[in-house]
Structure 1
C-alpha cells in the first residue's frame, strides 16, 4: 500500500452566496498586482488596507467577527459623491471581487438597474415594494430611494430540526450614491449559476446544510493557477495587451482559504 497522500481537492458549491468566504486574494491580488493599489502595512496586525494611487478609493479587510470584514470606500471628488460598500465575514470573496472589478475596469456598455439584475433571473418582489427575495428564500435585497442597498443572507441551522430556523450567514450594505454598475455587478455575481470552489471540510457546518455540492472534485492546485490567470487578465485589460482566450469550459477553479 502506497504511503503517498492524495492531493487536496475542492468541492463545487452552489448557490454561490452560501459558499462561505473563500480566498481573500481573489479580491486583493488583482488590486495590488494588476492595478497597483498601494498596501499600508500595520506590523503584527491582520488588517489589510489597499489604497488607489489617487487616494480616492480604499479597500479595507479587517477580520472582525462582530462587524463587516470588507469595506470599499470612495472619498468623492468635485463631480462625484462619496460612497461606501461593506460586506460581512462570510461574503464569498468572488462576490466582493465583482465590486472591485467593476470599480477598476469601469462600467459595461449597458448597465442594468441593480434590482432588474435579480428580477431577470426569477427573483421576486416581496409585499414590500422595495424588497426582492431569492427563490429559495435565503436572500433578501432591499433598495432605498436614494440608492442605499441592503443584502441579508440566511441559511438553515441544521437538518435535524423539524422546522429549521433561518440563521444569519452574512450581510452587506451599500450607501447612498454607490454607483449602480457596482451594485449591479455584485448582484450579478450572486445570481450567477457558476459554482464556487471550497474546501468542504472547512465550511461552516450550517452552510453545508443549505447548499448543493457537486460530486466531482477539482484539484486544489488548479485554483492557484486560476488566481494568477485572473490577475494577468485584469492587468491585460488595464494595459490593453491581448491574452489568449480562456478554455471553452470557462474560468479555471479557484482556491479557498
Structure 2
C-alpha cells in the first residue's frame, strides 16, 4: 500500500467472491496479531509466516509453496476434543479463511452448538452433486463434499469444467461451527475488493465474474483493514462499568450538590 495517503488507486470489486483470487494476507495475519493477541513470527530467509494463539493450542502457517497448500491451520487436542487441521490453496480468498479464524477466535461463540454446514448452502440454492454427500453452487464452479458424517470436508473451485482454482480441506474433528462459517462466506453475495495490478484473477470470463472498477484514495483502502482490526478487538475488550459514586452520595446524574 502506498505511503502517500492522497494517492489514488484503482480497486476491482469482484463477484462472486470465490473467483476473486487470494487477496491480501494481512486481512488474516494482522487481525490475528493485533486484534486477537496471536504471536507473529517470520521464518528467517523465507516468506513464511507463523502465528500462534495465546493459549498455544492453535497455529496458523502461511507458507507460499506452489506444490503445497499455502495456508494450514492446526489445533491441538483438548479434553474430549481430538486434534484437527484445515488447509487452503493459494487462490483461496482471504475472506473465506478469515471467516474461519474469526469464528475460532470469537470469545462469545457457543462451542456446544453444532450447525449443519450444508444448511446455508441449501438455502442459497446449492444442489446435490455426485455420488458422495456433496453440493454444487448454482454457477457450477464450487463443490463441497464429505464421504460420510464422520469424515473430512473438501471444497473445490473449478472453471472451464476441469481447471482447479483452489482447494480447501477440513480434517475430521474440525468444529462444525468453523465449517459453517466457511460455507456462510461461500454464499455471501457481497463483492470483495482487490487492488488492480496487484492480483491475478483466476478467470476473466464475464459469464462467471463481475468486476466493478473504482478509483479511491489509498488511505481509504487501508482503512478497511484498520476498521476490521478495531471491530474484532472489541470482542476481547472487558465490559465497561459506570464509576461508583463517592461515599455518602447517591449514584446517578441527578444527585443534589
Pairing 1:128–2:153 present: no
Give the match for residue 246 of structure 2.
none
With 97-106 and 40-49 compared, the bigger mean Cα shift is at 40-49
Report matched runs for 1:153-168 at 5 Å.
153-156=157-160, 166-168=162-164
Structure 2: gaps (5+ residues)? 1-5, 241-257
For residue 54 of structure 1, give the secondary structure of its aligned residue in structure 2.
coil
CA 1:202–1:32 in structure 2 vs 1: closer, same or farther (change >3 Å)? closer
For this pair of structures, how many residues does the alignment match? 230
Contact 1:68 1:89 in 2 (8 A): yes
Give the match for residue 173 of structure 2.
177
CA 1:101–1:130 in structure 2 vs 1: closer, same or farther (change >3 Å)? same
With 99-108 and 205-214 compared, the bigger mean Cα shift is at 205-214
- In the alignment, the residues of structure 2 paired with residue 220 and residue 187 of structure 1 have an alpha-carbon distance, to the nearest angstrom, of 31
Largest Rg, 1 or 2: 2
For residue 192 of structure 1, give the secondary structure of its aligned residue in structure 2.
coil
Give the match for residue 35 of structure 1.
36
Deviations 1:15-74 (A, max 9, x none): 000100111111111111111111233222110000112211000000011110011110
Q: What is the CA RMSD across the aligned residues, in angstroms?
A: 2.1
- In the alignment, the residues of structure 2 paired with residue 232 and residue 152 of structure 1 have an alpha-carbon distance, to the nearest angstrom, of 32
**Structure-1-length-normalised TM-score:** 0.83
Give the match for residue 115 of structure 1.
118
CA 1:216–1:11 in structure 2 vs 1: closer, same or farther (change >3 Å)? same
CA 1:111–1:215 in structure 2 vs 1: closer, same or farther (change >3 Å)? farther
Give the match for residue 254 of structure 2.
none
Pairing 1:211–2:209 present: yes
**Structure-2-length-normalised TM-score:** 0.83
- In the alignment, the residues of structure 1 paired with residue 217 and residue 126 of structure 2 have an alpha-carbon distance, to the nearest angstrom, of 33
Structure 1: gaps (5+ residues)? 157-164, 243-257
Structure with more helix by fraction: 1
Residue 185 of structure 2, aligned match among 186, 189, 201: 189
Give the match for residue 72 of structure 1.
73
- In the alignment, the residues of structure 2 paired with residue 119 and residue 97 of structure 1 have an alpha-carbon distance, to the nearest angstrom, of 22
With 179-188 and 143-152 compared, the bigger mean Cα shift is at 143-152
CA 1:41–1:213 in structure 2 vs 1: closer, same or farther (change >3 Å)? closer
- In the alignment, the residues of structure 2 paired with residue 141 and residue 240 of structure 1 have an alpha-carbon distance, to the nearest angstrom, of 38
